[in-house]
Amino acid sequence: MLHGGRLVGISLDVGYLYNEKAFVSLATIDVGLSEPGTEVVVVWGEKPNSAKPAVEPHEQVEISATVAPAP
């Protein structure tokens, strides 16, 4: 995860909450940025592409995210 272009955390798991119609990610983040509502950027994908055989080729993208407590 990035904030102001600086590495501030890491996403550990991702999922979709159907009832909330929202993607969520369990993550760790610098305590100074852990206030709910803080805007961060999640970098999704591996660069260069993964060597893992089960991972399809993909483009690495940045996704806007908002810090929130675990549901």
Q: 37-62, pLDDT tens digit by residue? A: 999 999 888 877 778 888 888 888 99
How many C-alpha atoms does 26 have within 13 Å on its Cβ side? 6
Instruction: Compute the C-alpha angle 46/6/66, nearest 5°.
Output: 80
Domain boundaries, the chain: 2-66
Confidence of residue 71 (pLDDT cuts 50, 70, 90): low
Would you state the torsion angle of the CA atoms of residues 4, 37, 60, 51, taken in this order, to the nearest 10 degrees?
A: 110
Per-residue model confidence (pLDDT) at position 33: 95
Q: What is the pTM of this model?
A: 0.75
Residue-wise pLDDT for 7-32, tens only, equals 999 988 888 999 989 888 889 999 99
For the chain, the straight-line distance linking the first and the last C-alpha, in angstroms and rounded, comes to 19
